[in-house]
Structure 1
Amino acid sequence: MTDRVENPSGWRLLAGFLLAPVPPVLLGALGFELMGDLPRFWETFIIGLIVFGYAPALFVGLPTYAVLRRKLRLTWLGCILAGAFTAALPWALLAIFPLATEASSNGVRTVVDGHPTWFGLFESLKSAAELAAFGALGGGIFRLIVAGRP
């Protein structure tokens, strides 16, 4: 028995890209709901699904899949790592190239004159690591959907 998927069908790929972001974003929205940070669960879920689920899947995940599918097979480890990369890359880029000219977090400056401070980089990379964990879950779900078997 092998861990690899040779050539997944088109409908499985479409289902994978459409459904894999849903459980991680649902889990994240539920976490915010339990902490009491956001007032409306379903609005948080829908916006999170678009911003943190489908946008990275479209702009990072799809090109990553297109490049790697010719060189690598769909393994569990590959999909989990690709999911983590897909979720974390946009946030990491925002940490390195901030859009704000001035910003702070808990009273500590994170961006000064358009450049991130060390504290800002650390805080942003912590968030990128959290997103990578959710992305890894999405990558595993993608593999499960595309392969059709565990």
Structure 2
Amino acid sequence: AGDMYESVMEHLDWSTIVIKAAAVGDYTPSEKVNGKIKKGENGMILSLKRTKDILEAVGGRKNGRFVVGFAAETDNLLEHAKEKLKRKNADLFIANDVSIPGAGFETETNLIHFVYRDGKTEELPGEAKTEIAGKIFDKIRELKPVNARL
């Protein structure tokens, strides 16, 4: 997560559109250990710390960029997606309920909702992820100011 954060921030200045679809870990071990951790008799307790929120950092440095985020949820889908969009200062969120059969992970199809800055939402019918990807780019073209290249 740290490497991805650094890479995104390093390349942010030349971007006009940022699409953050990768789900990096929200937590990382508090301490880095060099070498192998030996097995103990009593198990192990790991101490974790929050990772930097890449999308939130990008939203804080928008400078005219169009920022797109994703929300993979199992409950209160639209409520959580709207909150994330606002908190992370994004322009568009793609929300999907990963608990629905045929949507989310390990399937060729998905069912998504577009979540807009004005709080409105739009549900797309379930279909192949490749088709949905095209519709996401079409939506970005529709929403992005005309003077920007895509």
**Shorter-chain TM-score above 0.5:** no
Normalization by structure 2: what TM-score? 0.28
Q: With CA pairs under 8 Å and 6+ residues apart, which has the higher RCO, 1 or 2?
A: 1
Normalization by structure 1: what TM-score? 0.28
Larger helix share, 1 or 2: 1
Larger Rg: 2
